Structure formats: C-alpha cells, structure tokens
C-alpha cells in the first residue's frame, strides 16, 4: 500500500461545515485583534515623547504593537491548519499564531504551533500517540475549509504510515507544483524536524542531513520558534546566513509569512555594511584568503604599521629641531601596545607620548636659551642683579619664572604641548609611525605591496601563496572587494578598532546645538506669550533639554534593520544554512557576531563545493567551542523522489564512503532519463518538458562556465547573476542552484561539471538532487562513469 492510499480522505459535509463555522469564528477573532492593535498603534504613534524615558517607552510600545500587527497580518493565509482531539476529551485547534479567547480565563481559541500544547500535533504517531486520539489536518483556501484529513492514532497501528505525521497532507504538500518561492511547512512538520526546532536554544546545534531533508525549512522554523520563546533572542534578533542572494530571495518569504520580522537574512559577504563584494576571484585565491592563518597575517600587517624607525628622527617644530631617538620610538610603541587596545584606539596613547616628548624637548630648548641669555647678559653687564630681566625673558618664552614653581611649570608645559600637538611635523611623524588605519586602507596597501605581504605573511604563507594575494592598488574607500576580502576587512576591524573620540565629541557638539536651538525656540515662545498675555506659556512647562529631547528622531527601525546597518551588531541567535561552504575566516566573523554561541548550523558535508569549505563539522567548530556542540541528523528526503535518489547513490559513495543517503518519502514512478545532445539542442528538450509540465518550474542546471551559452539558446528563460526563480524556466550555473528546487531539472554536461573544479563531484550531486518530480541529464559526450553505472543498474 502506498503512503497516499493509507490515508482516508475525510470530506463528510457535516464535518466540513462544522470546521467552516469554527474557522469563521477564528477569522472574526483575528479581525477584532487586528483592529484593536491598529488602534493602539495609532494612539502610541500620536503620543508625545516628553522625557527621554517617556520617549523610550513610547518607542518600545510602538515596536511592540507594530510587531504584533505584522504577526496578525501574516496569519491570514492558513490561519488554522490542524486539530488535536486528546484522549482526555480536550480539543485544541492549532494554527500559525495563538488567538486568545475574549474571556481571559477561557482556553485559547487557537494554539500557536510553537506552544508546548501543539507539540503532539507533530510528534504523535500510532506507536506513540502522546495522548492524542485523533489528529486532523484542516486544508483551507483563503478563509474557506476545502478538505479534512484525519488520523486516528490510538486505533490499530497503520503500517503504511511509516511514522509520518499527517501523511496525506505531507504528500500533498511535497507534490504541489513549485512556485519559485519556498513555502513554510508549519502544517506538516515531521517529528524529527520538530525535535530540532524545539531543541534547547543554548550552544551550537549542527543539523546534518542529505539533500531535501528539510534543513533549510527546519532552520527557518527554528528561528521563528526561538523568537517566540526567548525575549533575549528577540531583543537581539536572529541572523540567517545563506550561500547567495538568489537563495536568500528564494527563502525570503518564509519568516515574514510566519510573522517574524526580527530576522536578518544575509550572505556572509554582506555582513560588513558599507562595502559591496563585487569582485570575482580565482578559487585558489579564495581558498588562501579563507585560511585561519590570515588572522595572524593581518595582525602582523598591523604590527608592521607600528614599527619604530631604526634611526633617530629629527622633527622641525617651529624654529626648533626636535630629535627623537630610536629608543624613544620603541618605548612609545611598546607603551601604546601595552594598553592592549586595538591599533586605532591605542593610537592616542602613542600620540600623547610623542607630544609629551616633543613638548619636553621644546621646554628644554627654551630653558637652555634662557640660561644662555642670562649668562650672556651677566657677562656683558658685570655683577648687576638681573632678576627682573630674567623674569622678563622667561615670560617671553612662556616659561615658569622660577624653577620649582610647579603650577607655573605645568601651565608652561600645557602651552608647549599645544604647540607640539598642532605642529604638522609631529602629526606627520605620528601618521607615519602609527597611522590611523581603516580596514580598507590596511588591506589595500597590504595587497598592493609584495614587500608588505612578505613581511606580514613570511613563515605563514609560501611565496606562491603570497603571490595569489597580490593585486594592483584599489581605492581604499570603495570598489574592488571580493567576498573573501570582506571577511578579511571584518577581521581587520577587530585588530584596528575604531577611534570614535571624534564622533563622540561631534555628537556632544550637536547635542549642545540642539539645546541651544531649543532655547531659542523657548525664548521666542516666551516673548510671544508675554505679548499675548497668556497665563501659562510653553516655557513654564518645558526647559531646553526637554524640548531638545522632543526634537530627537525616534529610532523605529526593526531589529533586523538596525543589525543590517551595524558592523559590530551581535545577534541573539545565528543560523547558518549550507554551513559546509564556509571558510575558517567566515566562521571567525560569525562567531564574533554571536558571542553567546547560540547557533544552529545546517548543512551537508557531501554537498561542499567551495574551495575552503568543510570536510568535517569539528574542523569548523573546534577552534571556537572545542567539542561542546551537538550533532543531529535528518534522514528523510522530502524533495527528491526515490527514483532520482537511486541514481545518485554511486556518486555519493565516491564523495563520502560513510554517507547514509536519506530515504525518499515518495516515488513518482518516473525514472530519470538521459540523452546525448550538444548544448545548443537543449532548447528542444526544455520545450518538450514544459509541454508536459503545465504549471510549475523547470531549471536547466549547467557547469558555471556553460550557463550563459545555454541561456543564449533559451531566450524565454530567466538567467544571469540574478535570475527570477518564479519564471517558468531558469538557467542556472550549478553554483547558483545550491539550496533551490524545481519540479523538473535538466542537467546539462555532467562531465563538465565534474571537471570544472576539485569539488566538481559535489557540484554534480547538488545538481542531481534539485528536482521534485523529473530529472533529465543531457550530455554532449559520454556520461561520467558514476552516472553510466547508475543509469544501467
């Protein structure tokens, strides 16, 4: 008996009517809650800020109501999808959000899928019914119930269901035509997936699973679950990292559809706001730049920029030459480094020491000059009392009038420090010996100079590896950065830090200006009030500080928006999809964004295709958490039919001898096929497949280098760096296909895919596992051995 046959469709009109009535009540409640929330939001928005505290409270209330409203809006489609009848006689309706009854003491009308009471809906089976008598899947369209699907769990176990929860609903979901956008699976989550979603938020959780096992879906639902349950995570937001922008667009609707806005979806290359990674690089360069040793290279490169000169430097300060000895520079650099602060933040210490030393020498010069003047005068005038003349000379030089007068000496030193501080020669020397460095400048100057590279990377990278990093000078401000560079920029930012004293004093100045402006407004108001003879004027109620507070603009950005603009934002939880692709430098960046190490990493080692990607999970995690991480596996493939998975078995064995292929949840009865055709004849096959497909999506997946050639013979297809996945046909290089799925896949040139890179076999495995219904392999020459074997088996 097939899985589909094992489920009894339940469409008795009376039951449908009853559920329709219930659904109508639920939507009515949803509408009421939306109206109330909208009204509250408007009230809060209109509330004046007043004191800073009141303003903060108002903004917090605004955010709270706005979030609540967006959750209520998002719940429109598929508001309620399930019902649990417990043996105890209790009944719960399960939905996308919880809906409280009007009466606060009454049971909720709808239980949120994330609430503990909903868990049994996902995990109960005939073998372990968890107190459930009946599980009902309610299928709706808009606000209408279209069908019901019941499972009685405490009856005789049904062998055909194979521990799937709601098999009919599940199969209906996986068989539905693709739309080019990932859908949530909240109605049909399976027990092994539910366990991951609800797993403890603390620590690093790794989810290893073959293709189509729902890793992405589970990761996104886990984000929604954690945001629902943890105020700490909600307050810092969740970061979801995906492999590329096309993939992020593909999954972009899932979390908003679940009502969650506190999630930033990003590639790892976008996590250094303000710099765009638009440069492509050779795989060998990417691999070297991703190595952990690059952190040491950058630290050495910064240290090289602090190197004291090995000879004395003479600065011309005004009329005085000031000579600074090598020992002085060494001591100054050592003291600045001893602050243990990042380069730019240690710089003020270095500058202060230089200024002090220059001032000390200026004072010494002046004293020497004064002494000489006194001696000369005494010689000229014989034994005359010269006190008055000396005092005059010292005063003219700005020096204390008597040695030992400490106050006066301190004042004098201050004057000379000011001279030293504003002297261009001193500033130039500081800039030369401890320059202010942005990450961009550090990297641009490092990569542009083989000498600098040799100095920083000597002993860490071979000369050939160093040569891979050399490139012509780029503007240190914009352009010309690769994703691998952005990881290095972020790393450099840690070593360099930001000297934000100037920004802070600018902020303080602008606050003073706001207060001055507010005072001006109050003065005018007071003037006109007294002219009008008003009893109570605005000046009686507010002072300039309070008014300035009210002028301040409220920060109503979502957590995700604030996080996206901030290079140093740390998240409450970080989720990494296709985590096997990340280089060690990318892991370092992500760990910095998540100091609590509350992380979920999902991926499949057998699908690793990037040059610096993982071969084992502990390889990535050991440097950060030792062995303190949990591994869990997903074992059922919901996407790829059994016929296609069988084709991939010999290939998988060559990629990872220990890998357990996931078992497909269904068969389609349509075996994959192959044909020997040159790339220019791909169009005929595409059109034939489209004619059979009707609705749904078809992808042509090629080796990366072949994509534009194939796209040229398929003008009707969406292609290029930013393809529209909702188009009926897309042409993708295999690198773009990661994480995606289509009803039909035509894979072009499998041998070319294997040959294109050292991880070409992994690429082929990714391409073979993207279809939900049909797979055709088009090969210009002979099939690769691993596929020939599988097709003839």
Ligand X SMILES: Nc1ncnc2c1ncn2[C@@H]1O[C@H](COP(=O)(O)OP(=O)(O)OP(=O)(O)O)[C@@H](O)[C@H]1O
Question: Does 209 belong to an annotated binding site?
Answer: yes
Instruction: Between 112 and 741, name the residue whose CB sits nearer to ligand X.
Output: 741
Instruction: Between 344 and 648, name the residue whose CB sits nearer to ligand X.
Output: 648
Integer Cα distance of 304 and 432 in angstroms: 11
Q: Helix (H, G, I), strand (E, B), or coil: what is residue 112?
A: strand
Q: How far is the CB of 491 from ligand X (least distance, A)?
A: 28
Instruction: Between 37 and 607, name the residue whose CB sits nearer to ligand X.
Output: 607
Question: Does 211 belong to an annotated binding site?
Answer: yes
Residue from 173, 445, 202 nearest 302 by CA: 445
Instruction: Between 587 and 638, name the residue whose CB sits nearer to ligand X.
Output: 638
Instruction: Between 209 and 723, name the residue whose CB sits nearer to ligand X.
Output: 209
Q: Does 133 bind ligand X (CB under 6 A)?
A: no
- Say how many C-beta atoms besides its own lie within 10 A of residue 654's C-beta: 11
Q: Helix (H, G, I), strand (E, B), or coil: what is residue 6?
A: coil
Instruction: Between 324 and 771, name the residue whose CB sits nearer to ligand X.
Output: 771
Question: Does 215 belong to an annotated binding site?
Answer: yes
Are 23 and 136 within 8 A, CB to CB? no
Beta strands 204-209 and 599-603, pairing class: parallel
Instruction: Between 214 and 572, name the residue whose CB sits nearer to ligand X.
Output: 214
Candidate residues 173, 378, 498, 714; the one interacting with ligand X per rule CB under 6 A: 173
Residue 110's φ and ψ, nearest 5 degrees, are -140, 135
Residue from 573, 745, 758 nearest 674 by CA: 745
Integer Cα distance of 171 and 670 in angstroms: 16
Q: Does 174 bind ligand X (CB under 6 A)?
A: yes
Contact stretch for ligand X (CB under 6 A) within 186-194, 226-234, 286-294, 624-632: 186-194
Q: How far is the CB of 67 from ligand X (least distance, A)?
A: 26
Q: How far is the CB of 211 from ligand X (least distance, A)?
A: 3
Candidate residues 215, 343, 593, 674; the one interacting with ligand X per rule CB under 6 A: 215
Q: How far is the CB of 641 from ligand X (least distance, A)?
A: 12
**Looking at residue 694, what DSSP letter applies?**
-
Q: Does 201 bind ligand X (CB under 6 A)?
A: no
Q: Does 777 bind ligand X (CB under 6 A)?
A: no
Q: Does 217 bind ligand X (CB under 6 A)?
A: yes
Q: Does 216 bind ligand X (CB under 6 A)?
A: yes
- Say how many C-beta atoms besides its own lie within 10 A of residue 91's C-beta: 13
H helices within 3-147, ranges in order?
A: 13-46, 52-74, 119-123
Q: Does 574 bind ligand X (CB under 6 A)?
A: no
Encoding tokens for residue 753? 């895919």
Are 184 and 258 within 8 A, CB to CB? yes
Instruction: Between 258 and 548, name the residue whose CB sits nearer to ligand X.
Output: 258
CA 501 centroid distance within chain = 28
Candidate residues 67, 140, 193, 648; the one interacting with ligand X per rule CB under 6 A: 193
Strand partners for 99: 110
Q: Which residue matches tokens 């800020």?
A: 49
Question: Does 140 belong to an annotated binding site?
Answer: no
User: What residues have CB less than 8 Å from 15, skipping those under 6 apart?
Assistant: 148
User: What residues have CB less than 8 Å from 169, skipping those under 6 apart?
Assistant: 137, 139, 149, 187, 188
Kindly report the three-state secondary structure assignment for every residue of 438-477. Answer: CHHHHHHHHHCCHHHHHHHHCCCCCHHHHHHHCCCCCCCC
**Looking at residue 607, what DSSP letter applies?**
G
Instruction: Between 3 and 374, name the residue whose CB sits nearer to ligand X.
Output: 3
* Crossing angle of helices 483-496 and 584-593, rounded to 10°: 50
Candidate residues 211, 257, 696, 760; the one interacting with ligand X per rule CB under 6 A: 211
Q: How far is the CB of 209 from ligand X (least distance, A)?
A: 5
Question: Does 56 belong to an annotated binding site?
Answer: no
Contact stretch for ligand X (CB under 6 A) within 73-81, 169-177, 396-404, 541-549: 169-177
Residue 600's φ and ψ, nearest 5 degrees, are -125, 120
Q: Which of residues 718-747 bind ligand X (CB under 6 A)?
A: 739, 741
Q: Does 769 bind ligand X (CB under 6 A)?
A: yes
Instruction: Between 301 and 647, name the residue whose CB sits nearer to ligand X.
Output: 647
Encoding tokens for residue 162? 């194979």
Instruction: Between 593 and 639, name the residue whose CB sits nearer to ligand X.
Output: 639
Contact stretch for ligand X (CB under 6 A) within 207-215, 290-298, 317-325, 366-374: 207-215
Encoding tokens for residue 465? 């590896």
Integer Cα distance of 164 and 122 in angstroms: 9
Phi-psi region of 207 (alpha: psi -120 to 50; beta: other; left: phi over 0): beta
Candidate residues 98, 180, 212, 672; the one interacting with ligand X per rule CB under 6 A: 212
Q: How far is the CB of 642 from ligand X (least distance, A)?
A: 14
Residue 644's φ and ψ, nearest 5 degrees, are -75, -40
Instruction: Between 170 and 790, name the residue whose CB sits nearer to ligand X.
Output: 170
Q: Does 257 bind ligand X (CB under 6 A)?
A: no
**Looking at residue 318, what DSSP letter applies?**
T
Q: How far is the CB of 575 from ligand X (least distance, A)?
A: 12
Q: How far is CA 272 from CA 44, 212, 492, in A?
A: 34, 31, 11
Candidate residues 213, 349, 466, 580; the one interacting with ligand X per rule CB under 6 A: 213
Q: Does 137 bind ligand X (CB under 6 A)?
A: no
User: What residues have CB less than 8 Å from 215, skipping those under 6 apart?
Assistant: 207, 209, 577, 602, 603, 604, 634
| b/e sequence 686-702, b meaning 16+ C-beta within 10 Å | beebeeebeebbbbbbb
Instruction: Between 211 and 752, name the residue whose CB sits nearer to ligand X.
Output: 211
Question: Does 213 belong to an annotated binding site?
Answer: yes
Q: Does 773 bind ligand X (CB under 6 A)?
A: no
Candidate residues 638, 666, 731, 773; the one interacting with ligand X per rule CB under 6 A: 638
Integer Cα distance of 351 and 282 in angstroms: 41
Integer Cα distance of 398 and 410 in angstroms: 11
Integer Cα distance of 346 and 764 in angstroms: 51
Integer Cα distance of 536 and 751 in angstroms: 86
Q: Does 189 bind ligand X (CB under 6 A)?
A: yes
Instruction: Between 288 and 579, name the residue whose CB sits nearer to ligand X.
Output: 579
Instruction: Between 588 and 639, name the residue whose CB sits nearer to ligand X.
Output: 639
Contact stretch for ligand X (CB under 6 A) within 12-20, 65-73, 183-191, 643-651: 183-191
Q: How far is the CB of 212 from ligand X (least distance, A)?
A: 4
Q: Does 397 bind ligand X (CB under 6 A)?
A: no
Q: How far is the CB of 779 from ligand X (least distance, A)?
A: 22
Contact stretch for ligand X (CB under 6 A) within 170-178, 228-236, 321-329, 344-352: 170-178
Q: Does 192 bind ligand X (CB under 6 A)?
A: no
Are 221 and 96 within 8 A, CB to CB? no
Q: Does 703 bind ligand X (CB under 6 A)?
A: no
Beta strands 263-266 and 238-241, pairing class: parallel
Residues 597-636 vs ligand X: string with x where CB under 6 A? -------x--------------------------------
Q: Does 110 bind ligand X (CB under 6 A)?
A: no
Number of residues binding to ligand X, judged by CB under 6 A? 23
Q: How far is the CB of 193 from ligand X (least distance, A)?
A: 6
Residues 498-527 vs ligand X: string with x where CB under 6 A? ------------------------------
Q: Does 775 bind ligand X (CB under 6 A)?
A: no
Q: Does 378 bind ligand X (CB under 6 A)?
A: no
Residue ranges for the known binding site are 209-216
- Return binding residues for ATP: 209-216
Contact residues: ligand X, CB under 6 A = 170, 173-174, 183, 185, 188-190, 193, 209, 211-217, 604, 638-639, 739, 741, 769
């Amino acid at each position: 008996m097939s899985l589909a046959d094992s489920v009894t469709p339940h469409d008795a009109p009376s039951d449908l009517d009853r559920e329709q009535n219930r659904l109508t009540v639920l939507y009515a409640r949803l509408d009421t809650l939306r109206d109330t929330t909208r009204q509250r939001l408007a009230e809060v928005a209109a509330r004046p800020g007043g004191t800073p505290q009141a303003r903060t409270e108002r903004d917090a209330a605004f955010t709270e109501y706005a979030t609540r409203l967006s959750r209520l809006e998002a719940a429109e489609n598929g508001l309620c999808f399930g019902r649990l009848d417990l043996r105890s006689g209790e009944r719960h309706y399960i939905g996308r959000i919880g809906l409280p009854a009007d009466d606060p003491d009454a049971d909720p009308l709808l239980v949120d899928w994330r609430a503990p009471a909903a868990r049994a809906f996902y995990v109960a089976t005939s073998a372990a019914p968890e107190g459930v008598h009946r599980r009902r899947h309610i299928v709706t369209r808009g606000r209408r119930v279209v069908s019901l699907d019941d499972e009685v769990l405490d009856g005789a176990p049904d062998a055909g269901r194979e521990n799937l929860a709601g098999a009919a609903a599940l199969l209906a979901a996986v068989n539905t035509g693709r739309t080019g956008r990932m859908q949530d699976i909240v109605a049909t989550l399976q027990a092994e997936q539910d366990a991951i979603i609800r797993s403890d938020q603390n620590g690093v959780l790794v989810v290893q699973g073959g293709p189509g096992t729902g890793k992405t879906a589970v990761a996104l639902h886990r984000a929604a679950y954690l945001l629902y349950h943890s105020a700490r995570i909600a307050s810092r937001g969740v970061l979801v990292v995906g492999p590329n922008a096309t993939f992020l667009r593909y999954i972009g609707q899932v979390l908003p559809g679940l009502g969650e806005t506190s999630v930033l979806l990003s590639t790892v290359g976008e996590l250094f706001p303000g710099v765009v990674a638009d440069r492509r690089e050779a795989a060998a360069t990417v691999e070297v730049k991703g190595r952990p040793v690059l952190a040491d290279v950058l630290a050495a490169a910064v240290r090289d920029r602090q190197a004291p000169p090995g000879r004395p430097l003479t600065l011309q300060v005004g009329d005085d030459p000031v000579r600074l000895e090598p020992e002085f520079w060494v001591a100054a650099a050592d003291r600045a480094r001893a602050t243990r602060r990042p380069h730019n933040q240690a710089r003020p210490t270095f500058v202060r020491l230089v200024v002090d030393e220059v001032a000390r020498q200026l004072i010494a010069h002046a004293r020497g000059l004064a002494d000489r003047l006194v001696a000369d005068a005494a010689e000229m005038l014989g034994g005359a009392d010269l006190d008055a003349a000396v005092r005059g000379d010292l005063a003219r030089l700005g020096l204390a009038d008597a040695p030992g007068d400490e106050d006066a000496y301190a004042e004098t030193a201050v004057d000379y420090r000011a001279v030293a501080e504003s002297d261009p020669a001193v500033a130039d020397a500081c800039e030369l010996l401890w320059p202010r460095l942005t990450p961009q400048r550090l990297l641009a100057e490092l990569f542009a100079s083989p000498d600098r590279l040799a100095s920083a990377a000597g002993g860490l990278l071979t000369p050939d590896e160093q040569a891979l990093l050399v490139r012509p000078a780029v503007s240190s401000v914009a352009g010309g950065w690769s994703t691998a560079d952005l990881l290095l920029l972020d790393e450099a930012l840690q070593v360099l830090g930001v000297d934000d004293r100037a920004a802070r004093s600018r902020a303080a100045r602008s606050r003073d200006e706001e207060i001055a402006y507010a005072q001006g407004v109050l003065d005018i108001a007071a003037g006109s009030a007294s002219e009008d003879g008003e009893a109570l004027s605005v000046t009686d109620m507010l002072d300039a500080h309070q008014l300035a507070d009210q002028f301040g603009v409220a920060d109503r950005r979502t957590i995700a928006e604030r996080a996206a603009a901030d290079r140093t934002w740390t998240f409450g939880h970080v989720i990494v999809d296709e985590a096997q692709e990340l280089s060690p430098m990318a892991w370092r960046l992500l760990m910095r964004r998540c100091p609590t190490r509350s992380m979920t990493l999902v991926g499949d080692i057998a699908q690793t295709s990037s040059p610096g990607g993982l071969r084992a999970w502990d390889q990535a995690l050991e440097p950060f958490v030792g062995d303190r991480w949990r591994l869990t596996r997903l074992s059922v493939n919901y996407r790829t039919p059994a016929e296609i998975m069988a084709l991939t078995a010999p290939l998988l064995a060559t990629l990872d001898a220990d890998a357990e292929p996931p078992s497909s949840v269904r068969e389609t009865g349509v075996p994959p096929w192959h044909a020997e055709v040159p790339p220019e004849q791909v169009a005929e096959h595409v059109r034939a497949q489209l004619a059979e497909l009707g609705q749904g999506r078809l992808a042509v997946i090629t080796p990366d280098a072949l994509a534009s050639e194939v796209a040229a013979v398929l003008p009707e297809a969406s292609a290029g760096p930013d393809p529209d996945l909702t188009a009926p046909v897309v042409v993708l290089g295999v690198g773009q296909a990661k994480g995606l799925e289509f009803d039909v896949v035509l894979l072009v040139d499998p041998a070319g895919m294997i040959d294109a890179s050292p991880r070409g076999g992994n690429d082929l495995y990714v391409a073979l596992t993207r279809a939900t219904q049909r797979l055709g392999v088009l090969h210009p020459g002979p099939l690769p051995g691993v596929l020939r074997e599988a097709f003839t088996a």
